[in-house]
Amino acid sequence: MQHVAIVGLGLVGGSIGLGLRRWAEEHRADGKPALEVIGFDTNLDNQGYAQKIKAVDRTAWDMVRAVSEADLVVVATPVMAMAETFQSIAPHLKPGSTVTDVGSTKAQVLRWAQEFLPRTVNFVGGHPMAGKTQSIEGADADLFKGATWCVTPSVSADEEAIRTVLGMIAALGAEPYFVDPAEHDAYVGGVSHLPFVMAAALMRTVATDASWRDMKSLTASGFRDVSRLAAGSPAMHRDILLTNRDAVVRWLDALSVRLDEVRAALTSDSETAGDALTEFFTEAREARATWATQTTREGELLQGTGAELSPEKFGDHVGRMFLGGLARRRRPGEPKDDTAAHNGSSSGS
């Protein structure tokens, strides 16, 4: 029987445990599950809750006991805790075992693994692109279903170790994506780390205004959607930014340029200000529509945007893509469609 140790039983660690235990039950051999999941967390409440929801077969009172017999160790701690975790488990890892992680940054984590883990084990970095704002209380065996799971093996990792991690990813229903650590950090700096900085900045901007007490009663779905990431763990966000400084600074600089474009248009007396704003929002809308209508090989929407895309809107966008806008040219005498102009009104955003 294979043994998997999960160090860190938060949302991601708990969800991995639930998913692996379900897979193990479905692949029983000789009446026994295919693997055993051992859990450890410095927070005893998390350990107890993981046992309660059956995210682990058993827990260990200390990290050493948890990893000493493991064939695969999944480090699901906050990013800044990984260096210390690697140092703590290093002397006790079984020779030939595989260590992976689920950290949101990869270059720094791989450097720590290279520095602290023994050469007798293999390290394969990982990052599942899935999550919620909850902790282990939101753990879900299907959390990773259909999600992209970034894989960044160390240069010394052997093929068997990589296959082990790919097997775990497949068992959880995710799709592996091999990527260079530096490229990974640059990419997620824009699509993951920049968004939660923006959400936090939005909340701080409006919540510190003297009018917030009254204006918050006017908030609706638009504000809720854009500010959602500000509800995440401050410590987690801090650690991610500190281990991905260069990429996040580059994206913040790029965002500042775009915000300056809007400010320049709003403060301009030029007659072209309206045209500049229209172009700004049109390009953003088209870029999002292209992203939202990506499909998988099975024809399903890749980003789970089905609820916001009616068949008419989907067809309309495809028509613009392939017909250069001909599909939406108004016929003589046809009234303008002002629907889009009202979709962003205060009553619905």
In this prediction, residues 226-251 reach a mean pLDDT of: 94
Same domain, 169 and 186: no
Where do the DSSP E strands lie in the chain?
A: 2-7, 35-40, 58-59, 72-75, 98-101, 122-128, 148-153, 175-178
From 226, 188, 201, select the one nearest 79 (Cα to Cα).
188
pLDDT tops 80 at residue 322: no
The yes-or-no verdict on residue 314 having pLDDT over 60 is: no
Do residue 200 and residue 127 come from a single domain? no
Question: Could you tell me which residues come within 8 angstroms of residue 146 by beta carbon, excluding any fewer than 6 positions away?
Answer: 173, 174, 175, 296
Count Cβ atoms below 10 Å from residue 72 Cβ, excluding itself: 24
Any idea which residue has 């629907």 for tokens?
339
Which residues form the domain of 67?
2-179
pLDDT, tens only, 216-228: 999 999 999 999 9
Q: Which CATH number is 224's domain given?
A: 1.10.3660.10
Residues 142 and 23 in one domain: yes
* CATH number for position 18: 3.40.50.720
- Tell me the pLDDT band of 339, cut-offs 50, 70 and 90: very low
Looking at the structure, tell me whether residues 232 and 310 fall in a common domain: no
Q: Is 190 found in the same domain as 168?
A: no
- Final residue before a domain boundary, out of 267, 284, 315: 267
User: 196 or 309, which is more confident?
Assistant: 196
Of 242, 267, 292, the one marking the end of a domain is: 267
Whether 241 and 320 share a structural domain:
no
Same domain flag for 45 and 163: yes
Question: 250 burial class (0-12, 13-18, 19+ CB within 10 angstroms)?
Answer: middle
Looking at the fold, whether 37 and 102 belong to one and the same domain comes out as yes
- E strand spans, 27-156: 35-40, 58-59, 72-75, 98-101, 122-128, 148-153
**Domain co-membership, 246 together with 164:** no
- What count of residues does the chain have? 349
Residue 296 pLDDT grade (very low, low, confident, very high; cuts 50, 70, 90): low
Mean pLDDT along residues 37-45: 96
186 and 158 in a common domain: no
The pLDDT value given to residue 307:
61
Partners of 193 in the beta sheet? none
pLDDT of residue 298: 63
pTM (2 d.p.): 0.81
Q: What is the mean pLDDT of residues 317-331?
A: 44
pLDDT per residue as tens digits for the range 138-169: 999 999 999 999 999 999 999 999 999 999 99
Which residues, in sequence order, are CB contacts of 306 under 8 Å at separation 6+? none
Same domain for 18 and 153, yes or no, is: yes
26 and 144 part of one domain:
yes
Number of domains in the chain: 3
Q: Provide the mean pLDDT of the chain.
A: 88
pLDDT at 29: 86
